[in-house]
């Protein structure tokens, strides 16, 4: 049996009268790349915030990395990484200082940090830029660095909230190579995106409409079910039903 890293069961979040996330149920296996799609306002970010311990669910159950989101969110936090749609490194710190700082938050030992920093720098071809301020790097490199920082502490699961916004196609491709490498090491990747070509790279994809998950399958199966040529078509067919506006 494969380890389930996320198990969500009728997970719901209400803000007053508004049901942002409406009883979603799904599970994600270890090492899987799970695409979490939906139009703006469909409830993706809220769902992700619940799973990452930033926000308390209104009802339903969820286990993340084997821990209960209600009671054990401190343990969850130790086992996940997070990269937000906003670029989240410190521009006025150097590459090395950023890595050090984030690794320090997770309480990693100096020896671990030192060794792994060199490894990451090499992997990103940033060794010669290590002591430059992050603000001098091009956006694509920053984003790749942000991803490496998010998984630096070797979490079981990493949440990526629209990680490739505003990046050119070549860099996006490189970014996805990093995601594959991470998945191959056993890190589960939970990713939201607006780019449908990226949805094709995922092992499985869920599509949220108005707070519910309306479809969940492999990209190939989804295309078959919806008789579509591409994920783009699948998405449009589903998103058209949405009642909520932008």
Partner 1 sequence: MKQFISFVKKEFHHIFRDKRTMIILLAMPVVQIIIFGFALTNEVKNSKIAVWDQSKDEASASLLSQLDASRYFEIVKPVFSTAEMEAEFKKGKIRMAVVIPPKFQEELVHFNKAQVQFIADASDPNVANTLTTYASSVVQDYQSRITGEKKMPYAISTRVRMLYNPELKGAYNFVPGVMAMVLLLVCTMMTAITVVRERETGTMEIMLVSPAKPFRIVIAKAVPYFLLSAVNIASILLLSVYVLDVPVNGSLALLVGESLLFTLVSLALGLFISTKVATQQTALFISLVGLLLPTVMLSGFMFPIENMPPPLQAVSHAVPARWFYNIVRSVMIKGTGLEVVWKDTLILVGMFLFFGGLAIKNFKIRLS
Closest CA to 159 of 3, 1, 6: 6
Question: Which has the closest alpha carbon to 63: 51, 48, 54?
Answer: 51
Check residue 185 for interaction with partner 1 (CB under 8 A). Answer: no
Residue 55: CB minimum distance to partner 1, A? 7
Residue 55 binding partner 1, by CB under 8 A: yes
Question: CA triplet 51, 64, 39: central angle to 5 degrees?
Answer: 35
Query: Residue 231, CB half-sphere, CA atoms under 13 Å: how many?
Result: 25
Contact with partner 1 (CB under 8 A) among 7, 14, 29, 54 = 54
Is residue 131 part of the contact set for partner 1 (CB under 8 A)? Answer: no
Instruction: Give me the DSSP letters along 71-107.
Output: T-HHHHHHHEEEE-SS--S-TTSBHHHHHHHHHHHTT
The region of 10-18, 76-84, 137-145, 232-240 touching partner 1 under the rule CB under 8 A is 76-84
Least Å distance, CB 30 to partner 1, is 20
Distance CA 159, CA 151 (A): 10
Among 10, 68, 104, 114, binds partner 1 (CB under 8 A): 104
Kindly tell me the sign of the dihedral angle through the C-alpha atoms of 58, 61, 66, 68: positive
The angle formed by the CA atoms of residues 4, 10 and 15, to the nearest 5 degrees, is 125
Q: Could you tell me whether strands 4-15 and 67-68 are parallel, antiparallel, or unpaired per DSSP bridges?
A: unpaired
Binds partner 1 by CB under 8 A, chosen from 12, 25, 58, 88: 88
| # of chain residues touching partner 1 (CB under 8 A) | 32
Please tell me whether residue 74 binds partner 1 under the rule CB under 8 A: yes
- Residue 25 CA, chain-centre distance (Å), reads 18
Nearest distance from residue 80's CB to partner 1, in Å?
Answer: 7
CB 88, min distance to partner 1, A: 4
Write down the least CB distance from residue 84 to partner 1, Å: 5
Q: Which is nearer to partner 1, 105 or 184 (CB)?
A: 105
Among 92, 115, 118, 181, binds partner 1 (CB under 8 A): 92
Q: Which of 82, 190, 226, 235 binds partner 1 (CB under 8 A)?
A: 82
Contacts with partner 1, residue ranges (CB under 8 A)? 52-56, 74, 77-78, 80, 82-93, 97, 100-102, 104-107, 133, 150, 159
């Amino acid at each position: 049996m494969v380890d389930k890293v996320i198990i969500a069961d009728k997970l719901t979040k209400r803000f007053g009268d508004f049901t942002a996330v409406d009883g979603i149920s799904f599970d994600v296996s270890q090492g899987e790349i799970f695409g979490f799609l939906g139009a703006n306002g469909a409830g993706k970010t809220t769902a992700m915030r619940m799973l990452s311990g930033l926000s308390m669910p209104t009802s339903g159950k969820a286990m993340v990395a084997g821990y209960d989101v209600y009671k054990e969110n401190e343990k969850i936090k130790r086992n996940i990484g997070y990269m937000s749609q906003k670029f989240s490194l410190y521009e006025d710190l150097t590459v090395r200082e950023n890595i050090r700082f984030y690794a320090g938050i997770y309480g990693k030992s100096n020896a671990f940090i030192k060794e792994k920093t060199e490894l990451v720098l090499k992997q990103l071809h940033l060794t010669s830029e290590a002591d430059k301020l992050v603000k001098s790097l091009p956006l694509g490199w920053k984003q790749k660095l942000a991803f490496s920082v998010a998984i630096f502490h070797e979490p079981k699961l990493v949440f990526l909230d629209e990680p490739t916004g505003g990046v050119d196609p070549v860099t996006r491709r490189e970014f996805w190579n990093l995601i594959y490498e991470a998945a191959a090491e056993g890190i589960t990747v939970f990713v939201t995106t607006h780019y449908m070509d990226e949805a094709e790279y995922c092992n499985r994809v869920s599509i949220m409409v108005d707070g519910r998950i309306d479809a969940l399958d492999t990209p190939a199966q989804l295309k078959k079910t919806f008789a579509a040529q591409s994920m783009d078509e699948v998405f449009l067919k589903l998103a058209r039903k949405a009642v909520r506006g932008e």
